[in-house]
Amino acid sequence: MSIAEQIMKWKQEKNAVILAHYYVDEEVQEIADYVGDSFYLSKVATNVDAERIIFCGVEFMGESAKILNPTKRVFMPDAMADCPMAHMATKEEILKVKEQYDDVAVVCYINSTAELKTYADVCVTSSNAVKIVRNLPNHNIFFIPDRNLGHYVSEQVPEKNFIFNAGCCPRHVAITEEKVLAAKAKYPNAKFAAHPECTQDVLAHADYIGSTAGIIDYVVASADQEFLIGTVDGVFAEIKKQAPDKILHTIKEQQVCVNMKKVTLEKVLDVLEHETNEVFVDQDVAQKAMQPLTRMLALAK
Ligand code: 13P
Ligand code: SF4
């Protein structure tokens, strides 16, 4: 039996459902029941019937799935697959900003630890941040942890005052303006689609800015044929599936998320079979972190 066949067998036996982010390897996306961006996967996680969720992604995703669906057992194929940006804000900084501004809303990108979410008024993902922030009653917005997504949102919602945090995604900031200009010179007919975790100077050259799902939809629906992709190359798999004729280029070599890459078919099979790497969140933390997550789901509708 192939690994994929064994996964299917164990999945049924264990009454499990497999969720995968677009950044994991194509062969992992292929065995998943649901593949999507962070927002889609967090919605799926609240609605699954299965007893067990295998989350092919990074820690904050498994944690959010567990918080949103506490009666389910959630497992991560690789317990060390973590998003470095999720840790790039501090409780001290949040409390300091809260003291300085009385009507401040702490807007927390879902790429954050459960602990950080406990200090948030609302969570957002890259696909709903603009809509949610625009509709918040607060004038002052402290956006954590990603300064780049924060800057992008602030440009779309100029009527609000933003306080930024220093965090960033090491993978997206490695897509530099210099590399974008070189790629544009090499492929002059290509349209450039970028994730808002890229820096402002890079986004200034983009024909489209959006979440992973947004980028996929843009490329698939576009009348153009050739694209430069300013995000992790895991999105290529879904684009190729929906629009096999499109020509796709990365901006740089190795445009991967090393943590998402830790998820392999062998590890998916292993957690299904042996029930290792189960996600547990402290009850008090989970209760507090659930509020901004459920508020996000309500406000994004
Ligand atoms: P999405 O919101 O597009 O899924 O992005 C998640 C992510 O980790 C980007 O680096
Ligand atoms: Fe985190 Fe960046 Fe990987 Fe997304 S691409 S999971 S933000 S390290």
pLDDT tens-digit readout, 226-248: 999 999 999 999 999 999 999 99
Strands 191-194 and 34-36: unpaired
Tell me what the mean pLDDT of segment 168-184 comes to: 98
Ligand nearest to the CA of 213: 1
Of all residues in the chain, what percent carry a pLDDT higher than 70? 100
Tell me if residue 188 falls in helix, strand or coil: coil
The pLDDT, as a whole number, for residue 199 is 98
Nearest residue (by CA) to ligand 2, atom 6, is 83
Q: Which amino acid is at 29?
A: Q
Minimum-distance ligand to the CA of 125?
1
For 105-159, what is each residue's pLDDT tens digit?
999 999 999 999 999 999 999 999 999 999 999 999 999 999 999 999 999 999 9
Q: 187 C-alpha to center of ligand 1: Å?
A: 26
Residue 41: pLDDT band by 50, 70, 90 thresholds?
Answer: very high
Query: Which residues sit opposite 278 in a β-bridge?
Result: 75
- With beta carbons less than 8 A apart as the criterion, state whether 153 and 133 touch: yes
Residue 49 CA: distances (Å) to CA of 27, 28, 69:
24, 21, 10
The rounded mean pLDDT for the chain is 98
Rounded distance from Cα 102 to ligand 2 centre (Å) = 32
Write the CA distances from 25 to 22, 35, 259, integer angstroms: 8, 11, 11
Question: Could you read off the pLDDT of 192-226 as tens digits, one per residue?
Answer: 999 999 999 999 999 999 999 999 999 999 999 99
- Whether the model clears a pTM of 0.75, i.e. scores above it, the answer is yes
Fold annotation for 3-83+260-282: Rossmann fold (3.40.50)
- CATH of span 175-250: 3.40.50.10800
Give yes or no for a contact between 229 and 193, defined as CB atoms under 8 angstroms apart: yes
* Helix 59-68 × helix 38-47 angle, to 10°: 30
Per-residue pLDDT band at 70 (split at 50, 70, 90): very high
Taking residue 229's Cβ as centre, other Cβ atoms within 10 Å add up to 26
Query: Does the fold of domain 85-168+287-299 match that of domain 3-83+260-282?
Result: yes
pLDDT of amino acid 23: 98
What is the distance in A from the centroid of ligand 2 to the CA of 99?
A: 30
Q: Tell the residue number behind the tokens 């609605």, with chain if given.
A: 47
User: Ligand 1 pocket check: which of 44, 212, 216 to mutate, most ligand atoms within 8 Å of Cβ?
Assistant: 212
88 lines ligand 2 (CB under 6 A): no
User: Domain 85-168+287-299 has what CATH class?
Assistant: alpha beta
Where are the chain's structural domains? Answer: 3-83+260-282, 85-168+287-299, 175-250
Q: How many CB atoms lie within 10 A of CB 73?
A: 18
Per-residue pLDDT, 74: 98
Residue 125 Cβ inside 6 Å of ligand 2? The answer reads: no
SS3 66: helix
pLDDT, position 3: 97
What are the counts of helices (DSSP H) followed by strands (DSSP E) for the chain?
Answer: 15, 12
Contact 195, 215 (CB under 8 A): yes
Amino acid at 135: N
Query: Using a 6 Å cutoff on CB, does residue 117 contact ligand 2?
Result: no
Q: Please tell me the distance from the alpha carbon of residue 187 to that of residue 182, in angstroms, as a whole number.
A: 9
Residue of the nearest CA to atom 8 in ligand 2? Answer: 83
